[in-house]
Amino acid sequence: MTDTNSERRRHSRLPKPFPVEASEIRFPPSSQARFETQCHDISAGGLSVLSPRKFDLGAKLQVRVHIPTLNKYSPGFFKVYENDADQYLQAIAEVTRVDLSGGGYLLGLKYVDVDEDAARAVANMVNKAVAR
């Protein structure tokens, strides 16, 4: 028997295909292959992305997620005046799950280093969308 409380996610997830740029953090930096994809879903604590290659659990990726309306949900007063065209969530994320998915891999990523305002803006965006 499984404990349903332990299976609940800490953060609500929004299934939205935002464009993502990602690269594994490795040394030397010239060995960091970058790939572009879309996220499967996103939350204040992480996201899942489709990847053309498999990554080991615990691998660190630098991710850049294009979210055109991110500033709209930012807790900062002056953020609403910034340009909506170039809004990104940038983070260092750790691979926590790897599942085979139609010729590629679905990676579960947990943020390990992310701007606090950006994480709150994502949480606000997800909570507003989920509440509808």
To the question of pTM greater than 0.75 for the whole model, the response is yes
Q: 16-20, 24-28, 55-59, 95-99: which range is least confident on average? A: 24-28
CATH number at residue 99: 2.40.10.220
pLDDT at 6: 37
76: containing domain: 15-131
pLDDT at 28: 78
Is 31 part of any domain? yes
Rounded Cα distance between 67 and 15, Å, is 13
Domain count within the chain: 1
